Amino acid sequence: MELPEREYWERGEVVAGLDEAGRGPLAGPVVVACVVFPPDTKPFLDRDSKKYSPAQRGFLFRKIVKSALAVTVSFATPREIERLNVYRATREAYYRALKLLPFEVSAVFTDYMPLKELDIPVFSPPKADENIFSVAAASVVAKVVRDRIMELYGKRFPQYGFENHKGYPTKGHIEALKTFGVLDIHRKNYKPVRESLKNKNLFEEK
């Protein structure tokens, strides 16, 4: 794993790593996490969050929160995703996550998400969630938080199986949409949800 943070850490400066989880699912929010480590942190991640097991992510989540100077989380809601599109809504959530930091940082690292409105250096290489420590940590936090949200939705709407597919367009999720209809947590501008709305008028009076 690369450590471009070191250039700043050696000067006693701190940087933020950001990543998101959940741009592809049909339901639930996109979760953006921002992580800032102290300059003397020794990297303890070596891959993207999706390549860890849920148990490993849970362990790493606790270690990240314990080690970091700050961890913030922001959300792009289904309604924002419908209004702005998923890319723009996610980008806005990045800015919100940064604004939640209780202090200023000297630079920002993201996974291929340019943040042009910032007046500090922003580095957005592809696959940063696999190669840059702070971004990999943010990837873990975002993934764990989003999975827990979807597991709660699974308890609230057991017929949809959110605890299993986490909102992704699996065969079971598509069948549940056809059988039980569209929920408020679904993204109505995503094709499978849009098609389900066309095929069944959920707003007609019973």
Into how many domains does the chain fold? Answer: 2
- pLDDT for res 200: 65
Q: What is the tens place of the pLDDT at every residue in 101-115? A: 999 999 999 999 999
Residues 68 and 163 occupy one common structural domain: no
The pLDDT, as a whole number, for residue 201 is 54
Domain identity same for 179 and 146: no
Between 205 and 79, residue with greater pLDDT: 79
Where does residue 170 rank: exposed (0-12), middle (13-18), buried (19+ CB within 10 A)? Answer: middle
Residues 112/129, Cβ–Cβ less than 8 Å: no
Structure tokens at 106: 């000297």
148 and 165 both lie in a single domain: no
Residue type, 178: K
Q: Are residues 85 and 145 in the same domain?
A: yes
Domain membership flag for residue 146: yes
CA distances from 154 to 38, 52, 73, 150 (A): 36, 22, 21, 6
At 118-151, the pLDDT tens digits run 999 999 999 999 999 999 999 999 999 999 999 9
Asked, for residue 206, whether it belongs to a domain, the answer is no
More confident residue, 202 or 87: 87
CA 30 to CA 108: how far, in whole Å?
A: 20
Measured in degrees and rounded to the nearest 5, phi and psi for residue 164 equal -95, -55
Residues 150 and 89 in one domain: yes
CATH number of the domain bearing residue 23? 3.30.420.10
Q: Are residues 170 and 114 in the same domain?
A: no
Domain hosting residue 57, numbered range:
6-154
| Digit-coded pLDDT (tens) for 64-80 | 999 999 999 999 999 99
State which amino acid sits at residue 75.
Answer: F
Position 205 in a domain: no
* Backbone φ, ψ for residue 181 (5° rounding): 90, -175
Q: Are 186 and 27 in contact (CB under 8 A)?
A: yes
User: What are the pLDDT digits (tens) for 167-200?
Assistant: 999 999 999 999 999 999 999 999 999 999 987 6
Residue 203 has pLDDT above 50, yes or no: no
**Are 27 and 70 in a shared domain?**
yes
Whole-model pTM: value is 0.95
- Please name the residue that has the structure tokens 């606790």: 62
- How long, in residues, is the chain? 206
